[in-house]
A and B are shown apart, each in its own frame.
Chain A
Amino acid sequence: MSPMRKTDRRGFLKGGLSLGALSLLTGCDLTDNEPAQRLLWNMSWWNDRAQGWLFNPNRLAPTYPESAVDRVFRYNAFYPEDQAPVLDPVTYRLELSGAIGDKRAWTVDRLYQLPQTSQITRHVCVEGWSRIGKWSGCPLRIFLERVGADLTKKYVGFICADGYYTSIDMPSALHPQTIMAFSFADQVLPRKFGYPMKIRIPTKLGFKNPKFVVALSVTDDYPGGFWEDYGYNWFSGS
Chain B
Amino acid sequence: MVSVTQMRRAWPIVLPPLVVRITHWLNALAIFVMIGSGWRIYNWEPLFGFTFPVWMTFGGWPEVSQHWHNEEGLAGALQWHFAAMWLLVANLLIYIGYGLTSGHFRRTLMPIGPREIMRDLRAALGGSLVHNVGERNAVQKALYIGVITVIVLTVLSGLSIWKPVQFQELTAVFGGYDAARYVHFFCMAAIVLFVVVHVTLTALVPKVLPPMITGRSRRWR
Chain A residues near B (Cβ < 8 Å): 3-5, 12-13, 15-16, 19, 30-31, 37, 39-41, 43-44, 46-47, 54-56, 59-62, 122, 124-130, 202-203, 227, 230-233, 237-238
User: Closest CB-CB distance, B61 to chain A, in whole Å?
Assistant: 13
CA distance A208 to B45 in the complex (A): 19
Contact B78 A30 (CB under 8 A): no
Determine whether the beta carbon of A130 is less than 8 Å from that of B70. Answer: no
Contact of A237 with B76 in the complex, beta carbons under 8 Å: no
Q: How far is the CA of A68 from the CA of B91 in the complex (A)?
A: 40
User: Cβ of A231: which chain B residues have Cβ within 8 Å of it?
Assistant: 68-69, 75-76, 79
Let me know if B74 and A126 touch, CB within 8 A. Answer: yes
Task: Tell whether, in the assembled complex, residue B78 and residue A56 are in contact, meaning their CB atoms are under 8 Å apart.
Answer: no
Contact A43 B83, beta carbon cutoff 8 Å? yes
Minimal Cβ-Cβ distance residue in B for A177: B165
> Is A237 in contact with B82, judged by CB distance below 8 angstroms?
no
**What residues on B are CB-neighbors of A56 within 8 Å?**
166
Interface residue? B98 (CB, 8 A):
no
Min CB gap A165→B, angstroms: 14
**A185 CA to B58 CA in the complex, in Å?**
39
User: Which single residue of chain B is at the shortest CB-CB distance from A16?
Assistant: B70
Expressed in whole angstroms, the Cα–Cα distance for A203 and B163 within the complex equals 9
The interface of chain B, by Cβ under 8 A from chain A, is 41-42, 44-45, 66-72, 74-76, 78-80, 82-83, 86, 163-166, 168, 177-178, 181
Please determine whether B66 and A16 come into contact, CB atoms closer than 8 angstroms. Answer: yes
Query: Contact at A203–B76, with CB atoms within 8 Å?
Result: no
Compute how far the CA of A125 lies from the CA of B177 in the bound complex, rounded to whole angstroms: 11
Ordered by A's residue number, 19 sampled pairs between the chains whose C-beta atoms are within 8 Å are: A3-B70, A3-B72, A4-B72, A40-B83, A43-B82, A43-B83, A43-B86, A47-B82, A60-B165, A62-B165, A62-B168, A124-B177, A203-B165, A230-B69, A230-B75, A232-B78, A233-B78, A237-B165, A238-B165
Closest 10 CB pairs of A and B: A3-B71, A128-B45, A43-B83, A40-B79, A231-B75, A238-B165, A127-B44, A230-B70, A61-B165, A230-B69
Query: Contacts A126-B74, A130-B177 given: A55-B82 contact, CB under 8 Å?
Result: no
In the complex the two chains form, is A54's CB within 8 Å of B168's CB? no
Q: Closest approach, in angstroms, between the C-beta of A88 and any C-beta of chain B?
A: 30
